[in-house]
Chains A and B, each alone.
Chain A
Amino acid sequence: EVQLVESGGGLVQPGGSLRLSCAASGFTFSNFYMSWVRQAPGNGPEWVANINQDGSGKYYVDSVKGRFTISRDNAKNSLYLQMNSLKVEDTAVYYCARWGWGWDYWGQGILVTVSS
């Protein structure tokens, strides 16, 4: 069974940092493109970042470029999102998602709250 489990969320002050992790199981992690997708309260989903299978290609939405870094460790079947210089508008539930035919598997989501 495919499982994606996020961790590392919580409350952080504006300007602070947080690192999200996503533990993958039930599939060959190194074969798949992976993503972070977020959803602010009451809003629709928003794509944040993608990483290709070997980690050599990374892509970001403009609003997080230079502040967020996506990475992966295929040996540990793990995906990461390093979030720096956090802003109030980064408050959202963050999902780890596998890109297959569309985002075909999602984690349960982890809440990140940026507030003073």
Chain B
Amino acid sequence: EFVLTQSPGTLSLSPGERATLSCRASQSVSSNYLAWYQQKPGQAPRVLIYGASSRVTGIPDRFSGSGSGTDFTLTISRLDPEDFAVYYCQQYGSSPWTFGQGTKVEIK
């Protein structure tokens, strides 16, 4: 099965700092069909990035995605207080569609 491994598990940062989240796939993600989601407690996930690097309409430009093949990165250029949440990567290039286990971005 297609496995996505996210690192680190927890990222402790201060508002205004840069966050770099990693997602590594056990095999190449077909057509770079990889998305990133943000989830806050008690809420459904919200899509931020699709196709590895395309930002969804309405998502602030401090969020950016990069990578290809098996290595992908979500970067938050300057953390806003509302950005502290759990982030998941998800591949939709191969069935079953799978999520990573998540990276929690917490306030330091």
Interface residues of A, Cβ cutoff 8 Å to B: 44-47, 50, 59, 61-62, 95, 97, 101-104, 106-109
Contact = CB atoms under 8 A, between A and B. Distances in A.
B50 A102 contact: yes
B25 to A, nearest CB: 15
B56 A44 contact: no
B5 interface: no
A61 B47 contact: no
Given A101-B50, A101-B56, A108-B44, A47 B97 contact: yes
Nearest to B33: A102
Contact residues of B: prevailing secondary structure: strand
Contacts of A101: 47, 50-51, 54, 56
Contacts of A108: 44
Contacts, number: 49
26 contacts: A44-B88, A44-B100, A45-B37, A45-B39, A45-B45, A45-B88, A45-B99, A47-B96, A47-B99, A59-B95, A95-B44, A97-B44, A101-B47, A101-B51, A101-B54, A102-B35, A102-B37, A102-B47, A102-B56, A102-B90, A103-B35, A103-B37, A104-B56, A106-B46, A107-B44, A109-B44
A103 B45 CA distance: 9
A112 B67 CA distance: 37
B5 to A, nearest CB: 12
B101 A44 contact: yes
B10 to A, nearest CB: 14
Contacts of B100: 44
A14 to B, nearest CB: 24
A47 B98 contact: yes
